[in-house]
Copies of this chain bind each other. A is one copy, B any other.
């Protein structure tokens, strides 16, 4: 990085610095490289530490930088394209499935999920917890709520029951699904599974699955916002966006 001083500009200083740093990342740094420390960077660019921190936070939000305790700030690799098209996210535990089932309980769904399940939401649901791994990294956690009307008799609690719930769903023809995406912050238990601190930014994907006009299942998945780009669509070999 050069020694460019950030001049007075009409845009906020941290934003101008972010742009300068972003260009420096493109031209002078390699993925995985460790940036100079904050004091050094602030001196180079002639800004206060607080301004520097704001600019670094922006670049972290954009997935350009990673800050890790004990390591420092490194240049992040490009985000992974994670396929979240309904077909791709096979909830059936197929071989090659990126999801690993952690367990299954029979519990009352939270109010927001119960509302989506409608008449089926009044009683307890099979609640399956899963974790998705891509390229050896945990990228998402998911809670799947399935109405027991759909599954019939099931084995014991735990991972076996989770597999049985997924298998019961696998045979069903899901007519359609509706999905929403919003920004959230990782709850403590999800953060631990995703190797993040509580409150880290995540993309929350809520999906309703419909069979014969009724919502039979709802999933709430929490994707790491720093490393993931969610890909929707049916492009065969959609490498350009999914790459």
Contact = CB atoms under 8 A, between A and B. Distances in A.
The 7 closest A-B pairs by CB, nearest first: A178-B233, A15-B198, A183-B225, A182-B229, A178-B235, A179-B232, A181-B230
Interface in A192-230: 197-199, 201, 203, 206, 208, 210, 215, 225-226, 228-230
Nearest to A55: B199
Nearest to A192: B11
A233 B205 CA distance: 12
B178 A232 contact: yes
A227 to B, nearest CB: 10
A184 B225 CA distance: 9
B233 A11 contact: no
Interface residues of A, number: 50
B11 A238 contact: no
A198 B233 contact: no
Interface of A: 11-12, 14-15, 18, 54, 57-58, 61-63, 79, 81, 115-116, 118, 176-185, 188, 197-199, 201, 203, 206, 208, 210, 215, 225-226, 228-235, 238, 240-242
A203 to B, nearest CB: 7
A178 B225 contact: no
Given A116-B241, A179-B231, A182-B228, 9 more contacts: A18-B199, A61-B199, A116-B240, A176-B233, A178-B231, A178-B242, A181-B181, A182-B229, A208-B235
